[in-house]
Amino acid sequence: MVKLVHGEEEVELAILRGLRLAVLLSIVLLALESVGAFLSHSLSVTADAVHDVPDILAFAISFTALRSVERGASERFTFGRHRLEVFAALLNAALVLGTGLFFAYEASSTILARTTFAGPVDPIWIVVVALPSLALRAGNIVSLRSIPTRARDLNLRSVVLHLASDLGITSVLLATALILIVRPSLALADPAAALVISGLLVWDSLPLFREGWEVLAETTPRDVKLEAVRAALLDVPSVSEVHDLHVWAVCPTLICMTAHVQVREMSMREGMEVVRQLRDRMAEQFGILHATFEVEAAGGPH
């Protein structure tokens, strides 16, 4: 198992505590909004309540993935289980997208039929549900955002994104309740709010699909410019040429690279010092902590 250093163990514990809190609060919200959906007859509250179910699954999946990563590398998983974080994030995105599309259909059907979802909507019950939901979700996202930025991998960002979109959804619910209190005749405000909520869910899932695909396709990470990496390598004394340069991510927080570098004729001790300088530079400038270099003598075959 990989040993955690420089506070990484505390960071991992903070992440796991945050995810555990997210699961527990989502269960509380599911119970609260289920009762609120029944009493308010609101499609928008129903959409938010049902959306809590994939939330619970998504947070639990993220928690399980991170616990698996803690097991470190093995003979079978030589890079550890970091890719589980990416798969968890993609599954989270799929759950959110599916929920959004389902309720987009329901809301559109209700609007076209010019009716309500389950009878007259009671906006007071929407307020009763939305206010504590807003407080619980805000507290949860503050807890997760207190985790250092370097530890917020794709998996954890997917959870924070869930909670950020949930805050937006709760704001939509409060706005809908206010409209219906002031103008009870605007009954279509509720399915319209459900449609807005569905759109938020679909929109929020798209960046996670994109980032997850980029990791699985082993593209060069977006914040790493290959020419800048090449220039930094060539800036190390004794390095005259760089070729066969590859940079990819096992997960967004574990960036790897390989490269062939040509140097002047030197002893093995001097060559190892050059490699040390190359690795230090990659770690400091680009956050690449797993760099492998093949050193070649200048003028030799590639």
pLDDT at 168: 83
| CB-based contacts of 6, cutoff 8 Å, min separation 6 | none
Name the residue among 201, 142, 197 with its Cα closest to residue 175. 197
Domains and CATH numbers, the chain: 8-216 (1.20.1510.10), 226-297 (3.30.70.1350)
Tell me the three state secondary structure of residue 293. strand
What is the sign, positive or negative, of the torsion defined by CA atoms of 202, 208, 211, 213? negative
Question: d(Cα 36, Cα 89) in Å, to the nearest integer?
Answer: 29
pLDDT at 138: 84
Question: d(Cα 104, Cα 239) in Å, to the nearest integer?
Answer: 58
Per-residue pLDDT of the chain (302 residues; tens, 9 = 90+): 334 434 445 556 666 777 777 778 888 888 998 998 889 888 888 888 887 887 777 677 667 766 666 666 677 776 667 777 788 778 878 888 888 899 899 889 888 887 666 668 889 999 998 899 888 888 877 776 666 554 445 556 666 776 777 888 888 999 999 999 999 888 888 999 999 989 988 887 888 788 888 888 888 888 889 999 999 999 998 899 999 999 998 877 678 899 999 998 888 888 899 999 999 999 888 888 889 999 988 765 55
pLDDT at 72: 66
